[in-house]
Structure 1
Amino acid sequence: MLHFSRWKTLLIWLVALAAIIIAAPNLLGEAQRSSLPGWLRNSRVTLGLDLQGGSHIVLKVERSDIVKDRLEEAVAKVRNALRGAGIRYTGLTGNGQTVTVRVTDLAETQKAVDLLKPLIMAGEQSEPGISLQQGAEGQLSLQISDAGIAADIASARGRSLDVVGRRLAQSGYDHFLLRPDGDDRIVVQVLGSVDAERVKNILNQRAKLSFHLLDESMSGQEALSGRWPATSEVLYSLDDPPVPYLVDRIAFVTGSNMVNVEPVVDPQTQDTSIAYRLDAEGTQRLAQATTQNIGKHLAIVFDDQVMSAPVIDAAITDGEGRISANFSEDGVRDLAVMLRAGALPATLTSVEERSVSPSFGADSIFSGLVAGLVAVVLVAALMIALYRILGVIAVVSLVFNLIFIVAALSLAGATLTLPGIAGIVLIVGMAVDANVLIYERIREEQRASPSFEQAVGRGFSRAFATIIDANATIFIAAIILLFLGSESIRGFAVTLAVGIATTVITAFTLTRSIVAAWLKARHPRHLPKSVLAHLFEHANVRFMGIRRYVFTASAVISLIAMAAFATVGLQLGIDFTGGSLIEVTAKQGSADIADLRLRLDDLNLGEVSVEPTGGRSNARIRIASQGGGENAEQSAATLVRGELEADYDFRRVEVVGPAISGELTMMATLGVAAALSAILIYIWIRFEWQFAVGAIIATLHDVIIMLGLFVLTGIEFNLTSIAAMLTIVGYSLNDTVVVYDRMRENLQRYRKMPLPILIDASINQTLSRTVLTAATTLLALLALYLFGGDVIRSFSFAMLFGVALGTFSSIYIAAPVLIVFRLRQEGPDEEESNKTDAGVRSGTVV
């Protein structure tokens, strides 16, 4: 019996109403939302960077800077300690992570050791970062350990977060997000219309400013030709070509002494400079240094380069002055921002950039909405044609399911990305799967139940376990996708996981309550009749009769796919190889592909491909990995920007360095392995071992042929491809689980039926569900492929092929394997009856 009490029905509809209220702010403008209560005003989905535009930049703390600073600090401490104690020494040098020094008087060696011990002690405990070793003939060495450097890097990462935040805020960017990533990285997201090159320039530089005196005992060129004093160092100017200067190592004023920094542009000469004011300590030091060194040169050093070297004409006692800067007006303004925000403890190198223009994001939103609307219309039309009034109920449940998804994402403050929209469109096709399972189960129960109402109740009850098992596989795949390391893929995983959860809940609450109300109001005696719904009612296909031929054909295709994979290989995207992908739009007219190729070839960037995309005015540029480290990839993208910015707008820029690409490759490999393992363990637990083996073989079959598809078509294989493959694996096993679940029922019901006949009967009994679910999912994916936009077209194509492949493998791969592994032992008579009486026996079951 299907019965819902009034309070349960009321509770379900109150939850539905609450979901509508929570989701509604997503449809309102900023002005309309301002009039809502605070808790509701902030309850909305955040659009991802690929939908509203902006830049996603991953910055890495430069290890070499940390090592250099730590080494210089250790050398200075050793020098000061030995000089202070009057211990003579020679050969004080720092190399790599080791400081070496030789005590001249061997009798003072132990005294020097005792003196240097406090440098490596923290209280009574040895500092883990430095170890002291004593060699022969007064030789001492201090070794800075990797653990010590790693600790310094983590500390520098934490301090850099604050500096980066101040720099972005002072640069006029209101909407930005910062978060640490690992021990040495910072993820920066700046939303809206962003000049990515300017952002990177502001964030990459240490902006370490200091005032020194020039060592005028010799010129910089003479110092390079000979040997300069240990208290000085050779630095180069910012000029082109750079000029060498011999600069005293001791800085008497640093950027930390500056309390006010402002950019200044002379209105007459357009010369740029930085006006500064020092704190009391800095003022005193500058006054003392300039008073004692009138007529000498002051060296103003910025990031180990001499920015200016003016003559000290008079003492500077008021702590104020100007630094001439041979920069543009924007450049001197950014320099002032960096100085005000403070110096970074180390250089931050850009290892990944993904930038999208706001217009490109708006196009993606429009494409996603169109694809979703078309998918809903197509799926709704099919369900109504199949089930009439029950189809209408399924469509109503589908609409509320979408509302529940948006409400859940809004409450969680989740970020909606373009792949996330694709996930919602996919849910449109998959959500009705639960309804199809329930309705088809009702159709079967109707034959054995005394009343239609009882058949409906049994249909809902007996479909529950199957729906849970079927959706669990996709849910597991979605959870694994959350850890693949890409913001956009996480967006897809979140919407897919939330959609699966709301689908199951909606089917057994909202759909069930509406069906119960329909039964109470109309008192129907059978399911609404439809020609389409009866297409598979008397299906009696001999699937297992041709299993050997299908197995052979599938094995041959799989071998060909593996051979193609091993010889030709995949066309890997920049996610896995590193490099740059840039989409441009001509400011006037069409994009000239030939001209673009010629202009980019002149930049000597190695392998560069240019192809049209998404209209005559658009082009996509791929630049292979430069092979010169992280900075080489950024430099290549900067060169392309500089070459094309006069004639083209940049719609999308992705730059992936070797460190990120290597990690993404590892994460993708581990993600696929983890997803397959988790799903197959679940099936092993829920079914007999033969079922798990069948699922494993069917899954490997799907993965191998999907890889063959990517090789054959030359479609770029990237992180979205991994997402497509894992989703397909989940979907394929979804269908396989439904067939397996029916086989398990029939194994208990028909204990003497030969296994091939039982498998045929089980497949025929679930054939309507298999075909109809595939049809609704394919309709949604077709809408996504046609209207979802060029960015996810390869994803949609792979999913289209994969759904068809998964449907095939659940019938012709997963099921026949059970015969091979003898799920049920058969005697000679049963084997013979398998050949002669299959049709009769199968007909009695159906």
Structure 2
Amino acid sequence: MLHIPLWKRVLIFGLCALGLLTAAPNLFYSRVEAHNDAIAAAEKAGFETPEQAAARAGWPDWLPSGLVNLGLDLRGGAHLLAEVNVAEVYKARMDDLWPELRKALAAERATIGAVRRAPGPQDELHVQIGTPEQMAKAVAIAKSLSTPVVTLTGVGQSDLAITASGDELIVSLSEAEKAATDDRTIQQSLEIIRRRVDEVGTREPTIQREGEDRILIQVPGIGSAAELKALIGTTAKLTFNSVKGRGSNPDAAPGLGNAVLPSADENGIYYTIDTTPVVTGEELTTARPEFDQNGRPAVGFKFNTSGARKFGEYTAANVGQPFAIVLDGKVISAPVINQAIPGGSGIITGNFTVEESTNLAVLLRAGALPAGMTFLEERTIGPELGQDSIDAGRIAAVVGFAAVVGLMVASYGFFGFLASVALCLNVAMLFGVLSMIGGTLTLPGIAGIVLTMGMAVDANVLVFERIKEELKNAKGPARAIEKGYQMAMSAIVDANITTLIAAIILFVLGSGPVRGFAVTLAVGIVTSVFTALSVTRLLVVIWFAWRRPKTITV
């Protein structure tokens, strides 16, 4: 009875020590943060300034340096809710289609007659033909320019909806293509915004889709909403460059006019490219997932007039050679030119899945926002307000902790004191786990910590009350303690599993601060069960082995 093997004791104390060690950097938040920022800046620049060296020396390198990230409501920062104007994409598609359709119809001028673009809604292309009797032929020509809509579930209906009214041919995007275009537009916008925000080194930004056509952007640590809007408006650097070589040495001499860039997808692979681009992302008009002639997923792209001319001349002179698609200083793809591409439209083939081709199309279009955005909501949370939230949360946590400890000691005496010691370790381990996983602490997260304190001692209350019942049944103290933990186990596990399920549902269905609360609650459940069933029990066993009491009072 009341025996815990040595290996289990070492494991329990070891986990507690690890939790305390990983949580310790949060007690010196500013110093450790400066240490981490200095290391990151030096690695990015390739050298270290004296100021960075001093900041790095402020915290020992051999100690853990993980921190709990502070959310927008605690650190301060900017909050934006943007609506993506997807209708602009429909208009751009129709404008891009018109030259191609005009050329195809002009080839049949003898029967169709003269063609011209007529006024119409922005998301529709109205074409007036000279011979209305030949409208069926004009419709067939327009349909020949359509392509199947590619989705993750396969090939669907045509991307163009074509009708006729009198002497006018009316072309618009089909409903399936509009839905696919909306999704691509939002995903491209998310990718662009995420890349722009990540460049400035902000911590734990929240960038996610809200509803059909809105994007929520929350960036802690940035000065103002106006600064964030300016940052989002920046254009990504997308270029198409000729490839001079491929290898695994990042320090290889590239030669005059060349550069060595890492591959985005192939670890340890570097490409030597000509720094003068063949074409740039500003000349790319579209990129979308398609299927090649063999039915395999691929990515189709198209340049504007100037880009098509330059790309056509380059591909004609470099058949069989690879060219690099470079996005933000990384080679995201390096396909081989199979044939000359004079029309400005091409296809990138490879061992893609449909999802990979869709993602590559997103990356290709990530050079510029695919559509304008209207900012519906702007908020700037100053660091002073964030500090006020931290102070208020700290006071709430301290008051809650003191109340719980006071109640436990008053109710259960020395056993309540041992439960309070375990509670301290529980909070420390909670912060340690959040630091290791890079979790973000928000104001609702602090509420989750306070809730965890109450739930942690709730398990001890069940155990102690069960020990009382066993003592009333004339059991000896050792047997009563042993039975108390055994009989309360199922109730503790059941209660915490149901709460953990609720936390998982909040995380999956929630967003922003709700997720922060869910993460804190879930981690707190795990640490509180561990401390209640292992740490408190070990402390009771050590005390009992030391004192050997004939009777106990709980």
Amino acid in structure 1 at the alignment position of 2:88: D
Q: Deviations over 1:180-213 (max 9, x none)?
A: 5377454433222422134235536999xxxxxx
Within 5 A, what are the aligned runs for 1:163-182?
A: 163-164=192-193, 177=205, 179-181=207-209
TM-score by length of 2: 0.64
Match of 1:157 in 2: 186
Task: Please name the residue that 1:422 is paired with.
Answer: 447
Say whether the 8 Å CA contact 2:68–2:431 is kept in structure 1. yes
Q: 174, 187, 193: which is aligned to 1:145?
A: 174
In the TM superposition, what are the counterparts of 1:400-799 in structure 2 within 5 Å?
400-528=425-553
Which residue in the other structure is 1:132 paired with?
162
Contact 2:459 2:532 survives alignment (8 Å) = yes
Superposed displacement of residue 515, structure 1: 0.8
- Inter-partner Cα distance in structure 2 for 1:74 and 1:472: 57
Question: Which of 351, 372, 395 is the equivalent residue of 1:347?
Answer: 372
2-structure distance, mates of 1:366, 1:360: 10
CA–CA separation in structure 2 for the residues paired with 1:255 and 1:386: 70
Matched residue type, 2:409: I
Q: Secondary structure at the match of 1:95?
A: coil
Q: Which residue of 2 aligns with 1:113?
A: 139
Structure 1 stretch displaced more, 89-98 or 478-487? 89-98
- In the alignment, residue 228 of structure 2 is paired with which amino acid? V
- Structure 2 Cα separation of the partners of residues 165 and 433 of structure 1: 42
How far has the Cα of 1:402 moved from its partner?
Answer: 0.7
1:27 matched to which residue of 2?
Answer: 27
Q: Deviations over 1:35-63 (max 9, x none)?
A: 56779644221111111111132433212
Q: Which residue of 2 aligns with 1:836?
A: none
Contact 1:364 1:418 in 2 (8 A): yes
Letter in 1 for 2:146: I
Q: Relative to structure 1, is the Cα distance of residues 77 and 371 closer, same or farther in structure 2, using a 3 angstrom cutoff?
A: same
Name the SS of the counterpart of 2:120 in structure 1: strand
CA-to-aligned-CA distance 1:337-393 (integer Å, 9 cap, x gap): xxxx96422012334545321111111112212221222222212222222211110
Partner residue, 2:360:
none
Task: Give the Cα–Cα distance (whole angstroms) in 2 for the partners of residues 58 and 481 of structure 1.
Answer: 22
Distance 1:8 1:168 in 2: 46
User: Whole-Å Cα distance in 2 between the matches of residues 77 and 66 of structure 1?
Assistant: 17
Q: Judging changes above 3 Å, is the alpha-carbon distance between structure 1 residues 20 and 179 closer, same or farther for their aligned structure 2 residues?
A: same
Q: Which has the higher strand share?
A: 2
Contact 1:47–1:415 (Cα < 8 Å) also in 2: yes
Q: CA–CA distance in 1 between the matches of 2:531 and 2:517?
A: 21
SS across alignment from 2:552: coil
Measured in 2, the distance between the counterparts of 1:84 and 1:149 equals: 29
Deviation for aligned residue 1:91:
6.5
State the Cα distance separating 1:401 from its structure 2 match.
Answer: 0.8
Instruction: Name the CA distance, whole Å, in 1 between partners of 2:420 and 2:202.
Output: 42
Residues 39/66 of structure 1: CA separation in 2 closer, same or farther (3 Å cut): farther
Measure, in 1, the Cα distance between the counterparts of 2:431 and 2:201. 28
2-structure distance, mates of 1:56, 1:352: 8
Q: Which residue is equivalent to 1:94?
A: 120
Q: Which has the higher contact order (CA 8 A, sep 6+)?
A: 2
Q: TM-score by structure 1 length? A: 0.43
Question: Does the 8 Å contact 1:193/1:358 carry over to 2?
Answer: no
CA distance 1:342–1:461, shift in 2 (3 Å): closer
Amino acid at match of 2:144: P
Question: In structure 2, what is the equivalent of residue 672 of structure 1?
Answer: none
Aligned match for 1:63, one of 78, 82, 86: 86
Contact 1:45 1:415 in 2 (8 A): yes
Given the superposition, is the C-alpha separation of residues 153 and 376 from structure 1 closer, same or farther in structure 2, using an over 3 Å criterion?
A: same
Flag structure 1 segments of 5+ consecutive residues without an equivalent.
208-253, 259-280, 286-340, 530-846
Secondary structure, aligned partner of 1:374: helix
Q: Do the aligned residues in 1 keep the contact of 2:204 with 2:219 (CA within 8 Å)?
A: yes
CA, structure 1 residues 503+480, in 2 after alignment: closer, same or farther (shift >3 Å)? same
Is residue 44 of structure 1 aligned with residue 44 of structure 2?
no
Separation in 2 of the partners of 1:176 and 1:46?
A: 7
* Separation in structure 1 between the aligned mates of residue 98 and residue 209 of structure 2, nearest angstrom: 32
Identity %: 38
Distance 1:407 1:496 in 2: 14
One-letter identity of the residue aligned with 1:420: G
| Cα distance change of structure 1 residues 255 and 120 upon mapping to structure 2, 3 Å threshold | closer
More off after superposition, 439-448 vs 30-39: 30-39
Q: Which amino acid aligns with 2:540?
A: V
Structure 2 counterpart of 1:4: 4
Cα 1:369–1:155 change in 2 (3 A) is same
Residues 508/133 of structure 1: CA separation in 2 closer, same or farther (3 Å cut) = same
1:601-634 alpha-carbon deviations (Å, 9 max, x no partner): xxxxxxxxxxxxxxxxxxxxxxxxxxxxxxxxxx
Deviation at 1:149, TM superposition (A): 1.9
1:196 matched to 2:225? The reply is yes
Q: Secondary structure at the match of 2:481?
A: helix
Quickly say closer, same or farther: Cα 1:110–1:386, change in 2 above 3 A: closer
Q: How far apart are residue 505 of structure 1 and its match?
A: 1.8
| Residues in 2 aligned to 1:73 and 1:353: alpha-carbon distance in whole angstroms | 34
Which one of the candidate residues 116, 125, 130 is aligned to 1:104? 130
Deviations for 1:641-696, whole angstroms, at most 9, x for unmatched residues? xxxxxxxxxxxxxxxxxxxxxxxxxxxxxxxxxxxxxxxxxxxxxxxxxxxxxxxx
Q: Closer, same or farther in 2 for the Cα pair 1:390/1:176, shift >3 Å?
A: closer
| Secondary structure class of the residue paired with 1:490 | helix
CA contact (8 A) 1:71 1:94 kept: no
Please identify, of 121-130 and 150-159, the stretch whose mean Cα deviation from structure 2 is larger: 121-130
Alignment CA distance shift 1:511-1:167 (3 Å):
closer
1:269-327 CA-partner distances (Å, limit 9, x unpaired): xxxxxxxxxxxx69x99xxxxxxxxxxxxxxxxxxxxxxxxxxxxxxxxxxxxxxxxxx
Contact 1:176 1:188 in 2 (8 A): no
Q: Secondary structure at the match of 1:482?
A: helix
Change (3 A) 1:525 1:155: same
Distance 1:49 1:381 in 2: 33
Instruction: Name the SS for the 2:223 alignment partner.
Output: coil
CA distance 1:352–1:4, shift in 2 (3 Å): farther
What is the one-letter code of the residue matched to 2:22? I
2:419 corresponds to 1:391: no
Letter in 2 for 1:148: E
Aligned length: 405
Distance 1:121 1:486 in 2: 37
Q: Secondary structure at the match of 2:393?
A: helix
One-letter identity of the residue aligned with 2:91: K
Quickly say closer, same or farther: Cα 1:42–1:130, change in 2 above 3 A: farther
Q: Secondary structure at the match of 1:3?
A: coil
- Match of 1:376, as an amino acid? F
Q: How far off is 1:457 after superposition?
A: 0.6
1:82 aligns with 2:105: yes
Deviations 1:107-135 (A, max 9, x none): 64454334323321369988632133456
> RMSD value over aligned CA atoms?
3.6
| Distance in 2, Cα, partners of 1:505 & 1:342 | 49
What is the identity, as a one-letter code, of the residue corresponding to 2:419? A
| Bigger CA radius of gyration | 1
Separation (CA, whole Å) in 1 of partners of 2:376 and 2:459: 44
Q: Which amino acid aligns with 1:129?
A: D
How much does 1:5 deviate? 1.4
Residue aligning to 1:545: none
Distance 1:506 1:441 in 2: 18
Greater mean alpha carbon deviation, residues 369-378 or residues 438-447: 369-378
Q: Is the 8 A contact 2:149 2:158 kept in 1?
A: no
3-state SS, counterpart of residue 120 of structure 1: coil
In proportion to residue count, which structure has more helix? Answer: 1
Unaligned runs of at least 5 residues, structure 2: 36-55, 237-279, 285-305, 311-365
| SS of equivalent to 1:377 | helix
Cα distance in 2 for partners of 1:123, 1:55 equals: 38
The alpha carbon displacement at 1:69 in A equals 1.8
1:177-256 correspondence runs (5 A): 177=205, 179-181=207-209, 184-200=213-229, 203=232, 256=282
Q: Whole-Å Cα distance in 2 between the matches of residues 395 and 386 of structure 1?
A: 12
